[in-house]
Structure 1
Amino acid sequence: MENIGKIIRKCLLLVGGILPLANTAFAQAQMPSWEVGGGLGAMVYKGDLAPGIAPRNLRPAANLLVRYNVSQPFTVRANFGLGRIAADDASTNDPFQQARNLSFKTNISEANLLFEYNFLDFANRRRVLNWTPYVMGGLGVFSMKPNPNSGGYKTKMLMNFPLGIGIKYEFKRPWIIGLEMGTRFTRSDYLDNFGPNTFGGTDKLRNGNPNSKDSYTYVGLLLSYRFYKIDCPQ
């Protein structure tokens, strides 16, 4: 019985020595909790004055972000952006738009809550290429200040519905570079300050399409810093 007692005590000591090391290794292998960063890019508008996304309508934009990595595939992100959208009927080859001859510039500021899904294992791994494509979606609010400002402009704060894709790469731990594109769908037809009731009447040349809403897309490069959590053994 004495020998058995010694074996049990040794086993308990061995387990007691291994557990802190195992906990440390496990903690080091977990996803980091927080990430902060920002980016530079461009916004482009789609609406009555630009039925399709046209490179000539790209305007400068920037954003700040805070990510919380819930698990390996899922990330929650707060995003804050500033930019401008613009378009000009005179710059198109469409005779209808040239006859209408409208133009605008609108400053945009936004705040979004996004959910990202990582397709690859984007975890704390050493000596491996750590990268992944991802998709994102969520909800947000934005304010707009169009120029010129006519009677159709009534609301400053509106909701948007972001949806997009991206790719990120941890090129030097803990620094991450990324490229993403996300469209903000809205329920407004006045981002360009031109909608169904801008000038009144039924003249299609002077009023927007009531069956389509305006949207804007952000394309940009991101740089972020990950805060790795490493637990020391007790």
Structure 2
Amino acid sequence: MQNQIVLFWSRLILAGVLLLQLPTNAQYYELGVFGGFSNYQGDLAPFAFNPAETHLASGVFAKYNFNKFLAVKVSYYSGSLSGNDALYDQPFRVKRNLHFETAINEVAVMGEMNITGFQPHRHKNLLSPYVFAGIGLFHFNPKANFEGNWVELQPLGTEGQGTEAYPDREPYRLTQINVPLGIGFKGNISRNWNIGVELGWRKTFTDYIDDVSNTYVAKEILIAENGALAWELSNRSDEINDGVEWLKDDNYLRGDPTDKDWYFFTGFIVSYNLSLIQEGLRRNQYYVEGKPYKGTRQARKKMGCPGK
């Protein structure tokens, strides 16, 4: 996976450098909004697009278009993520009986490449598929429902984080780096307005968006060092097994530490091309002694007025 990511980035950077050599007379800014859905895939949700775990998401972005092929975008997106063993008819998941929810907030900088070119200011190339990739920073805070209250899981150390018995398990950070990747399709519906649809993957480098990653911790150790609530929310198998704790072996896997978590933003975009009106005015003006001259085309031509 790491080699594939490096190869992808190398190709994207090379393509970006080549595309930046194109004429830049089509530069303009965009402001836009995003509306759609957020989803998660990880230890508590093996499938990314379960309708029961799909949440509303929204966002805003600003974009600078270098030319018809290449743009850079700064964005802020927010949504919610969740996972629940009870939604999947698999014996291990049913017995494990874990769940979580978290808000997700992300800022990112991305490069965007229009596959066929996009030129709304020239009234051509008005439809284009595109791809994007970049780097982002996201914040999460997993919680679980316990006796009617939503409890923050990270401070509890449900997998022995912060205990002397497990010195290699440090508390995970709630703000981390990600790699946004995605595809989309957009169209220009008037000179200044664009609409589109996009699907974005977020590659993360944490396995704790859901607070589940490693092995169970011995009950006595977890209660002694992190408290009884940490144990109650670490092993919830007794809640559906007539009060009997299903897992006794503290080395039994609670999650898969080799498979990091992913999340997704899917939805629609609407954007406004900020510079096109001003560009149109400048293109239609001719100047005499530094001042705009609005005579007829023939008169301007006879006077040799240059356009600016």
User: Into which bin does the TM-score normalised by the smaller protein fall?
Assistant: 0.7 to 0.9
| Other-structure match for 1:49 | 44
Pairwise CA distance, 1:93: 1.3
Q: Which has the higher contact order (CA 8 A, sep 6+)?
A: 1
Which ranges in structure 1 are unaligned for 5 or more consecutive residues?
1-26
Q: What pairs with 1:1-234 in structure 2 (closer than 5 Å)?
A: 30-56=25-51, 57-123=53-119, 124-126=121-123, 128=124, 130-148=126-144, 149=153, 150-151=156-157, 154-196=172-214, 199=217, 201-204=250-253, 207-227=254-274, 228=276, 229-230=278-279, 231=282, 232-234=285-287
State the AA in 2 paired with 1:94: Q
| Other-structure match for 2:240 | none
For 2:70 and 2:122, the matched residues in 1 are separated by 17
Structure 1 stretch 222-231 or stretch 152-161: which is displaced more? 152-161
Determine which structure has the larger helix proportion and give its number.
2
CA contact (8 A) 1:32 1:226 kept: no
Pairwise CA distance, 1:39: 1.1
Pairwise CA distance, 1:121: 2.5
For 1:203 and 1:71, the matched residues in 2 are separated by 55
CA contact (8 A) 1:38 1:64 kept: yes
Query: CA-atom RMSD, angstroms?
Result: 1.9
State the AA in 1 paired with 2:178: N
For 1:146 and 1:53, the matched residues in 2 are separated by 17
CA contact (8 A) 2:216 2:252 kept: no
For 2:216 and 2:267, the matched residues in 1 are separated by 33
SS of 1:145 mapped into structure 2: coil
1:9-53 CA-to-partner distances (Å, cap 9, x unmatched) read xxxxxxxxxxxxxxxxxx9x9424100011111111010011221
For 2:72 and 2:49, the matched residues in 1 are separated by 31
Structure 1 stretch 195-204 or stretch 107-116: which is displaced more? 195-204
State the AA in 1 paired with 2:136: G
SS of 1:50 mapped into structure 2: coil
TM-score normalised over the length of structure 2: 0.63
CA contact (8 A) 2:37 2:265 kept: yes
CA contact (8 A) 2:112 2:133 kept: yes
Question: What percent identity do the matched residue pairs reach?
Answer: 31
State the AA in 2 paired with 1:106: T
1:139-188 CA-to-partner distances (Å, cap 9, x unmatched) read 00001011131415631210000110001111122111010011100010
For 1:99 and 1:233, the matched residues in 2 are separated by 77
Which ranges in structure 2 are unaligned for 5 or more consecutive residues?
1-22, 145-152, 159-170, 219-249, 288-308
CA 1:107 to 1:132, structure 2 compared with 1: closer, same or farther past 3 Å?
A: same
CA contact (8 A) 1:112 1:139 kept: yes
CA 1:93 to 1:161, structure 2 compared with 1: closer, same or farther past 3 Å?
A: same
| Other-structure match for 1:19 | none
